[in-house]
Amino acid sequence: DLGCPLVIGLSRKSMFGQLLGLAPEDRLIPSLTAATIAALKTDVIIRTHDVAATRQALRVIHAIKSERDTICQ
């Protein structure tokens, strides 16, 4: 509703460590999950430590969204 993308930085956050008992180096999957959920909800700019993995996850999300939009027209 702001009229511009949000910037989110969820990469390897301590909340994932607290929630799942993970060390920072083991928080890739929760970080990717949070980034993809955010990308599904709204237009976002994602700040991440794991650029290649996040880019791949977001490419999948964008492909799914594009296919869904095509099918649902």
Residue with tokens 């996040």, as numbered in its chain: 54
pLDDT in tens, the chain (73 residues): 678 888 999 999 999 999 999 999 999 999 999 999 998 888 889 999 999 999 999 999 889 888 777 777 6
Output the pLDDT for position 5. Answer: 86
Q: For this structure, is 41 an active site residue?
A: no
Query: What DSSP string describes the chain?
Result: --SSPEEE--TT-HHHHHHH---GGG-HHHHHHHHHHHHHHS-EEE--S-HHHHHHHHHHHHHHHHHHHHHT-
Catalytic residue among 12, 27, 41, 47: 47
Annotated active-site residue 55? The verdict is no
Question: Does the pTM exceed 0.85?
Answer: no
- Of 71, 18, 11, 5, give the one whose Cα is nearest residue 44: 5
Active-site pick, 12, 13, 41, 59: 13
- CA 18 vs. chain centroid, Å, equals 19
